[in-house]
Amino acid sequence: MARSKADLLQGTLDMLILKTLALGKLHGWGISKRIREMSRDVLEVNQGSLYPALYRLEDRGLIEAEWGISPEGRRAKFYSLTGSGKKALREERRSWELFSEAVQLILQTTQ
Amino acid sequence: MARSKADLLQGTLDMLILKTLALGKLHGWGISKRIREMSRDVLEVNQGSLYPALYRLEDRGLIEAEWGISPEGRRAKFYSLTGSGKKALREERRSWELFSEAVQLILQTTQ
DNA sequence: TTGCAATACCTAGATTGTCTACAATAGTAG
DNA sequence: CTACTATTGTAGACAATCTAGGTATTGCAA
């Protein structure tokens, strides 16, 4: 993942994946494409981050996987949000907003 | 550092320190107090993160230190922004804004 | 029929920043 | 003389991301 060709901020990848899956069942490759598109090419997930993150989320019971066929006709593993995944997304989002507003507060301080 | 009692997002601490110093020369302890105040108690820097970050920034030539006396009359190491520190702050800020706007874009996507 | 690009999944190991949890010193207040 | 606050500092653990590789399948162009 890149922030302007630098690195992703730790902790946001999980939330972004959860959010992407909240829009619909999707496979790994598709998630990464979707994130790139939604962010207008600003955020780029790399596979070495993506797959470990997916397993992490699956282990924590936030998403679940099943094999299927992609729109391109290839075998692909489709992930979907579980109930606790939805809850986790709400929490991570709240805490992201809290955090980024706090940063914004600091950046706007003028004296 | 805490985001809602969880962890700080990697990469923002440097920017927050630089920004704090852009408001005036300050010592480590004071920087951490200032960040807490500016963020209205949302962000909490812990010392094990703060001092290594200060040395990192000093090594990179973004800040410089000199010993002095704190308002409380104790010996303290005062840091100030260098020229390249100011430049780095502008860049980090720009890239933070790019990044957080991209995240916001994704969070706001509804289909 | 060869070669290449795109789709799709996967993993080992390095890197690095943050956290936990200490330690140490110097004043100040009680 | 004790306790507390201010202040700096360090070692080691931890965890998420990145780099850099790998495999397999499909479609298409040369």
Domain ranges of chain B: 12-108
Contact status, residue A15 vs residue B15, Cβ threshold 8 Å:
no
Q: What is the pLDDT of residue B3?
A: 39
Q: What is the pLDDT of residue A7?
A: 65
Q: What is the pLDDT of residue A3?
A: 39
Q: Which long-range contacts (CB under 8 A, 24 or more apart) does A23-29 make?
A: A23/B109, A23/B110, A23/B111, A25/A78, A25/A79, A25/A80, A26/A78, A26/A79, A27/A68, A27/A70, A27/A76, A27/A77, A27/A78, A27/A79, A28/A54, A28/A76, A28/A77, A28/A79, A29/A70, A29/A76
Provide the angle, in degrees to the nearest 10, between the axes of the packed helices B12-22 and B83-108: 130
User: Best residue in B33, B95, B106, B110 to probe A by mutation, most A CBs within 10 Å?
Assistant: B106
Q: What is the pLDDT of residue B5?
A: 41
- CATH code for the part of the protein at A12-108: 1.10.10.10
Per-residue pLDDT of chain A (111 residues; tens, 9 = 90+): 443 444 678 889 999 999 999 999 999 999 999 999 999 999 999 999 999 999 999 999 999 999 999 999 899 999 999 999 999 999 999 999 999 999 999 999 998
Residues of chain B with pLDDT under 50: 1-6
Three-class SS state of A60: coil
Which of A12, A23, A98 is nearest residue B42 as measured by Cβ atoms?
A: A98
Q: What is the pLDDT of residue B31?
A: 95
DSSP structure class, residue A6? S
| Cα distance between residue A74 and residue A77, in whole Å | 10
**CA angle at B64 for the pair B63 and B70, rounded to the nearest 5°:** 110
Instruction: Quickly give A47 CA vs D16 C1' distance in Å.
Output: 14
Q: What is the pLDDT of residue B57?
A: 96
Q: What is the pLDDT of residue B7?
A: 62
Q: Which of residues 26-65 of B touch strand D (CB under 7 A)?
A: 27-30, 47-48, 51-52, 54-55
Residue A90 sits at the chain B interface (C-beta within 8 Å): no
Q: How many CB atoms lie within 10 A of CB B45?
A: 23
Contact status, residue B77 vs residue B24, Cβ threshold 8 Å:
no
pTM of structure? 0.91
CA dihedral sign of residues A15, A17, A23, A25:
negative
Residues of A in contact with B42 (CB under 8 A): 98-99, 101-102
